[in-house]
Structure 1
Amino acid sequence: MTDGETLVEAALRVLNTADPVEKAKLGDELANKWLQGLISVPYHPSQADFIVPDRPARLTNVKLVSPSLMPKLGKAGSLQSRQAIVHSLVHTESWAIDLSWDIIARFGKQESMPKEFFDDFVRVAQDEGRHFTLLAARLEELGSFYGALPAHDGLWDSAVATSKDLFARLAVEHCVHEARGLDVLPTTISRFRNGGDDQTAELLEKVVYPEEITHCAAGVKWFKYLCSRSKNTSVGNVMENGDDKESEEVIGKFHEIVRAYFRGPLKPPFNEVARKAAGFGPQWYEPLAVKDFTR
């Protein structure tokens, strides 16, 4: 770390690190420095804006294919299927690291976000780095490695589509994609357990799953914050107190954003318990799952 480095500058260093192992390690170090106060400011208001890369630095060891051309992962009944599922999770976590640092670098100063915003997403970034490291190690224990199988970059495609709008980034990445992870993880955990792989099941159940709920919660929290700031009212408090009118406005904004930036309907079944724990109920997402969904 250079003397006087801001958090945004630190975030850019992570984004410009190509090796995902080094990216996770650097992210963890910088997160600790921020949370311990060793990096003291998120950015200098008078400093010229830095250029945030459209695409973070990445190694070319992972063969990228269209999502439609991805081979089926299977149901964890065979070693090959378990390797494929864990490889897919490792790839997702590698992008999640970049997404977390990108939201800090791209929107923190631009939107004049408060310190708590940076705190929350630094913690998310640190979690994602830990998930990547643990899952990559587990993949090697299963006799494979990151890069052994093809992957797709649909997650970053969504990041590009939402790169100009923090409302959209929070709604699509954290309240749609991350929430989708909450929907499917319990089934994935059960499949590993049924396939005799308790070690992977425990990793997903005890570490990844509960922390992903907090990541989704960060998206919901800061989406509500943006709504409240745009109306100069405390929407977060209002929603907790059950103000139906204000709730409808926030949820209506969420529906508007998702319809504009996310292609197609949301896929049920939904993990209502985990989604509720993250701060949003069925009225947020069930209307987006109807068959006549239109953009």
Structure 2
Amino acid sequence: MEASAPPPSSSSGDRTLVEAALRILNAEDPWVKASLGEATAKQWFDGLISRPYDPSVNLPVPERPARLSNVKLVAPSLMPKLGKAGSLQSRQAILHSLAHTESWAIDLSWDIIARFGKEEAMPRSFFDDFVKVAQDEGRHFTLLSGRLQELGSFYGALPAHDGLWDSAIQTSNSLLARLAVEHCVHEARGLDVLPTTISRFRNGGDDATADLLETVVYPEEVTHCAAGVKWFKYLCQRTQQGSPQDKDVQEDKKLQAPDQLSAATNENSEANLDPVIDTFHAIVRTHFRGPLKPPFNEQARQAAGFGPEWYKPLAVKEFGLAE
């Protein structure tokens, strides 16, 4: 059954955002992670937590976040089929899978803040974006697990796999790789499959779940993919310009860094993106197993700033797609 830990207070002694992120990563209960994340996001955006990190302190980030042991974990190849939402059992299985994905998405969002923000001297808007992503993912988990209970099941009732965190471990030494694999490839794959999932729930007579996915989860996941693309471009363009990384402070003039860098590179934006996309292809081929599999949700991917030039070449060799 769902853990019964009470939601934490919205006030905390965290002096920096990274301290708060680590507190969330070290919480076992996903409902507590979601509640702590909501409280932390409010504190951050209200200015109650004002500093992203303390430049004089190095805080260890766990290789694997704390997790409850109530979910039976199996290899992805051993996962039972989810079905097509035509039965209650299938709808429960799909919702359980979605809730599990969102539970890891909470940890991934706080991990990227704690692991890479100080190390890569990222501007404040990087922290803003991923706090918002983390806040969304926590809400998604809470809503989906709540809906699962309404359908007579609960998170932990079915097996799941931890493929998302396997990818996180493989990209733990590179922010570029983490953004490419987790926040572009995996997030974009979610955009590819969600419309079909929504249709299946609706065709199965479950309009409540379909509406939740269509009006809350789907549009917000587009913005999450967009954050990954935005900051991948930023890091590549910063490297091209040779911008110094200030490891100690985040200056106010850096707050709009992604826009400034994009405007400053040169006037031919398509030419500017060529090395960025080449870098993306090289990183995905190195850190992601296998090709990207169509069909692709080109409309949603485009809305996230992720045009076909980013992903179709990664499927061409194996699937014979036309570029």
Q: Show the counterpart of 1:200.
A: 209
Q: TM-score, normalised by structure 2?
A: 0.88
Report the CA distance between 1:243 and its aligned residue: 2.6
User: Are 2:200 and 1:191 aligned?
Assistant: yes
- Which string of whole-angstrom CA distances, capped at 9 and with x for unpartnered residues, describes residues 52-76 of structure 1? 0000000000000000000000000
Q: Show the counterpart of 2:143.
A: 134
Q: TM-score, normalised by structure 1?
A: 0.96
- Which string of whole-angstrom CA distances, capped at 9 and with x for unpartnered residues, describes residues 190-242 of structure 1? 00000000000000000000000000000000000001110128653479965
| Structure 1 residues 157-168: aligned runs within 5 Å | 157-168=166-177
| Structure 1 residues 161-180: aligned runs within 5 Å | 161-180=170-189
Q: Show the counterpart of 1:72.
A: 81
Report the CA distance between 1:156 and its aligned residue: 0.3
Pick closer, same or farther for the CA change 1:4–1:144 going to 2, 3 Å: closer
Instruction: Verify the 8 A CA contact 1:238 1:246 in the aligned structure 2.
Output: no
1:193 & 1:239 partners in 2: Cα distance?
Answer: 46
- Which string of whole-angstrom CA distances, capped at 9 and with x for unpartnered residues, describes residues 82-124 of structure 1? 0000000000000000000000000000000000000000000
Q: Show the counterpart of 2:286.
A: 260
Instruction: Verify the 8 A CA contact 1:8 1:43 in the aligned structure 2.
Output: yes
Q: Secondary structure at 2:312's aligned position in 1?
A: helix
Pick closer, same or farther for the CA change 1:242–1:77 going to 2, 3 Å: farther
1:241 & 1:201 partners in 2: Cα distance?
Answer: 43
2:307 & 2:267 partners in 1: Cα distance?
Answer: 14
Letter in 1 for 2:262: G
1:188 & 1:92 partners in 2: Cα distance?
Answer: 14
Question: Percent sequence identity over matched residues?
Answer: 74
**What RMSD in Å do the two structures reach over aligned CA positions?**
1.6
Pick closer, same or farther for the CA change 1:279–1:161 going to 2, 3 Å: same
- Which string of whole-angstrom CA distances, capped at 9 and with x for unpartnered residues, describes residues 242-274 of structure 1? 533221111000001100100100010100100
In structure 1, stretches of 5+ residues that fail to align are none
| Structure 1 residues 44-123: aligned runs within 5 Å | 44-47=54-57, 49-123=58-132
Q: Show the counterpart of 1:11.
A: 21
Report the CA distance between 1:44 and its aligned residue: 1.2
Q: Show the counterpart of 2:38.
A: 28
1:17 & 1:286 partners in 2: Cα distance?
Answer: 39
Instruction: Verify the 8 A CA contact 2:61 2:115 in the aligned structure 1.
Output: yes
How many residues were matched structurally?
292
Pick closer, same or farther for the CA change 1:241–1:271 going to 2, 3 Å: farther
Report the CA distance between 1:46 and its aligned residue: 1.6
Letter in 1 for 2:311: Y
Letter in 2 for 1:27: G
Q: Which of these residues, 306, 314, 317, is aligned with residue 288 of structure 1?
A: 314
Q: Show the counterpart of 2:299.
A: 273
- Which string of whole-angstrom CA distances, capped at 9 and with x for unpartnered residues, describes residues 18-77 of structure 1? 011111101110111001100000011122x11100000000000000000000000000
Instruction: Verify the 8 A CA contact 1:17 1:58 in the aligned structure 2.
Output: yes
2:24 & 2:12 partners in 1: Cα distance?
Answer: 14
Q: Show the counterpart of 2:6.
A: none
1:285 & 1:44 partners in 2: Cα distance?
Answer: 37
Q: Secondary structure at 1:290's aligned position in 2?
A: helix
